[in-house]
Structures are given as structure tokens and as C-alpha cells.
Amino acid sequence: MEYLRGLKKYHFFHYSATDPLEASMDLTAGIETFNKSMGVSFFRRKHSFINFFFIFGISNLVLYVVSVLKSAYESRHDTTKLIYCIATFGFCCQAIMKIYSFIITRQRVIDLYENNLRYYQDMTGQSNAVKRVLCDNASLIYIVIKGTVLIYLILVIATMTIPGFSSLFLADRILPFGFVMPFFRADTLTGYIWNYLIQVIMATYYWIITVGSDITTIYNLITANGQLDVLMTIIGELDEQLERGECPERIRDKIIEIVRQHQHHRSYLQQLVDFLNPYHFVTLGSTVPTMVISVLGLVLLDWYPGAAIVFLGSVQIFYICFLGTSLEIKVKIISTLFAVRYCLLSISFQTDALTLKVGAIHWNKLSIRDMKYMNLVLAMTQKPKMLAVATLPLNITAFLKIHKLIYSLIMMLENTKD
């Protein structure tokens, strides 16, 4: 994350704020403005879906599904075209799940937004150090969101333009996706142009709904990261109070604040995980098979468009796993920080090195009652909430396992081919 924060020095990624609540409202307003292009709202309870952009987008999705299924049936005797249709259908499953998660059940998205809004409102009474941490986190959210929009835009433009340019130099006309419209034949120039234009429109809508859902997820996940940063900052403030020997009442108030912040974080993260688990299950469940099928076509049939689909799927999985890893690392830092700073005698942390560190910390100035409070928090940090699909944690390790599986498949197919 620190490397991403360094992008702030560039004008395109620069964002600074002095008020966390104002920064949060700016970010969500930007997301809402983007979502207007598909006629939806993720944060407003009262929203009418009877508008041109939403109806037009849903109509395109229905046409997309019908076209893929019809083309797959008509191409059942042509292996290359059939693989292309099946691979394309994986993105169709993703689009349907995004609509279900963020539009049909958008009540849960609104609940997360309102939870965040209350959190930032509560933070207005915190110290300047805590506010600065939250503003830095808002800047990070801005950087990741703008980077996501840019990367997805480049991928979509490349996916839509490369087949057109290739068709200028090849004997066959190539479409971006492996299906044709039911009412236009692609073997004529007019039919090819119409199919190409309609697929560009569909790809644009897919880009909008993918970016809209992903940047909302990014906002929620990095907000959870920010909550952990706040928790570490407050722990640091408590340690400073102990060092200065402040009165027990102020120390106890700070400990109660730590407990309250940690309880809020766990509650919020549980709410977020419950929402994201089915969404990520369908995303990975459709993306990984799509990548595998594309690899089959690429290796066995020299189907080069499959390489673009594999790359696009890889980018989507990386985003999920990268954010999961960031959250996992932060949680482990919190767990270690509690154990090291306050030596709450957790067996798993009893080492000689810990004993030396504890000698330099003012944990012994805590009262027995305060020690019990902190012991409760420590016990809860040992069972953190994580992003997962079934039993698979969503982190960089999972990302590497998926690609190791795909690489092994490529090598096996190459050996079989030889």
C-alpha cells in the first residue's frame, strides 16, 4: 500500500483532505456520479430504476445472454467458436451476479454505506492524529479507485480495438467476442459492422457495471483497512498516556475507546464479508473456468484471443486477492501490536524476544481491570474476519495457486500436444 500512496505526488492521483467526513462524502459522491451512467444508485434508498440508462443496459444484458446461447448452439460443431462462446459466457455470469449483488440486493450496500457514514461522523471528535490517518486513507482510496478505472478502461479499449485492426490484415473478420447477434450475420461486411458496434456497446456497459461494483467494493474494503489504522493510532496514544503517567480515568476512557473501535471494526467487517462472500464465489467460480477454457483454446487450437481473456480474468482476480492480502496483513499487525505492547500472556506469543520488548513498554502501569479489557481485545484479534471463498482465503497466496494451476495445465497440454 505504501507504494500506492507514493502515487499521490502525481497530479492525476493527487487528493488531499483535512476532514475525514468530508473526504468520505466526496468519494461516495464520485462513485454515485459514475453509477448514474448506468442508471443506478448504490447509496440512496429512494431511487427509481425506470430510466433510459438502466433499461437500456438490462436490455443489452438480455440480448447478450440470448446471443451467446444461440451462437454456442449454432457453433457446436466448430470447436474454436464454441470455446469462444463458452469463455464469453463466463463474463455474462459475472455481470448477472454484479446486478444481483449491487442492484437487486442493494439494501445491503446501502447499509454498509450508512454504517461508514456514521463511523466518519463519530470520528469528528477524535484527535488530529486519528483524523490525519483517516484523511490519508481517503487519499489511498482515491488512488486505487482512479487506478482501477484507468486499468479497466485500457483493457476494454484493447479488447475492442485489437480484433478490428487485426481484421484489416487478415483474411477473416474477427469480432471482439465469440458470439453474433441473432438478426445479423457476421459473414457479410454490413453484418460484421453491426455486430462489432453492438458488441462495443455491450462491452462499454460491462465496463461501467464492473467498475461501479469494484470501486464500491474497494471503498468498503480500504475503509476497513483505515479502521485498523485508527485502532493502531489510538493504541499508540494509550501507550503515550501510560508513559506520561496520566490519571487512571483518562487511561480507562482510552481503553474503552479501543474496545469500542475494535468491536465496530469486527461488526463492520462481518457485515462486509457476509455481503462479499457469495459475490466473490460467483466471480471466481466463473472467472477461473473461463481462464482454463481460454488456455485450452490457446494451447490446443492456437486461439490467440484466449490470451486476452486470460489476462483480463487475471486482473480481476488480482484485485480481489490484493485487497484481501492488505486486510490480512493489517490484522496480523494489530494482533502482534497488542501482544507485544501489553504482554497479555497469550501462549503463542511467549518468547524471549517478546520478554525483552515488554521490558521497555509501560504495560505494567495498567490496572487489573484495564488489563482484562485489553486481554479481551487481544483474544478477539486472534480470530480475525477475513475475505474467503468457501474455505479458501482470498489473498496473494490464493492468486498464485490459481495461476500455478493454470500454468500446470498449460505445460500438461503442451506435453500432450507434442
Digitized pLDDT (tens) for each residue of the chain, 418 residues in all: 666 777 777 788 888 888 999 999 999 999 999 999 999 999 988 888 899 999 998 998 899 888 888 888 888 888 777 887 887 788 888 888 888 888 888 899 999 999 999 999 999 888 899 999 999 999 999 999 999 999 889 888 888 888 888 888 877 788 887 788 888 877 888 888 999 999 899 989 889 998 999 999 999 999 988 888 888 888 788 778 878 878 878 888 887 888 888 888 888 988 998 898 888 888 888 888 888 888 877 777 666 667 777 888 888 888 888 878 777 766 665 555 555 554 443 333 333 332 333 333 355 566 656 666 566 566 555 566 677 777 778 888 888 988 888 888 778 877 776 5
Alpha helix stretches (DSSP H) within 302-346? 305-342
Distance (Å, whole) CA 287 – CA 276: 16
Q: Is 388 helix (H, G, I), strand (E, B) or coil?
A: strand
The pLDDT value given to residue 360: 35
The secondary structure of residue 366, as a DSSP letter, is S
Query: What is the count of structural domains for the chain?
Result: 1
Question: Is the CB of residue 229 less than 8 Å from the CB of residue 220?
Answer: no
Identify the bridge partners of residue 392 per DSSP, sorted by sequence position.
Answer: 389
pLDDT confidence of residue 115: 94
pLDDT value for 356: 34
Domain, as residue range, for 90? 1-340+347-415
Give the cell for residue 142: 482515491
Pairwise CA distance, residues 155 & 9, whole Å: 25
Which of 273, 313, 274 has its CA nearest to residue 290?
Answer: 313
Across 234-301, the runs of DSSP E, i.e. the strands, are: none
Nearest to 24 by CA among 116, 109, 147: 116
Contacts of 129 (CB under 8 A, 6+ apart): 233, 236, 237
Dihedral sign for Cα 89, 91, 94, 99, please.
negative
Q: Give the per-residue pLDDT at 358.
A: 30
What is the spatial distance between Cα 140 and Cα 144, in angstroms, rounded to a whole number?
Answer: 6
Using CA atoms, how far apart are residues 10 and 208, in angstroms rounded to an integer? 25
CB 335 within 8 A of CB 408: no
State pTM to two decimals: 0.85
According to DSSP, the residues that pair with 393 across neighbouring strands are 388
Element (H or E) spanning 206, and its range?
helix 189-244
Tell me what pLDDT residue 266 has.
Answer: 85
User: Residue 220's pLDDT is what?
Assistant: 93
Secondary element (H or E) of residue 393: strand 392-393
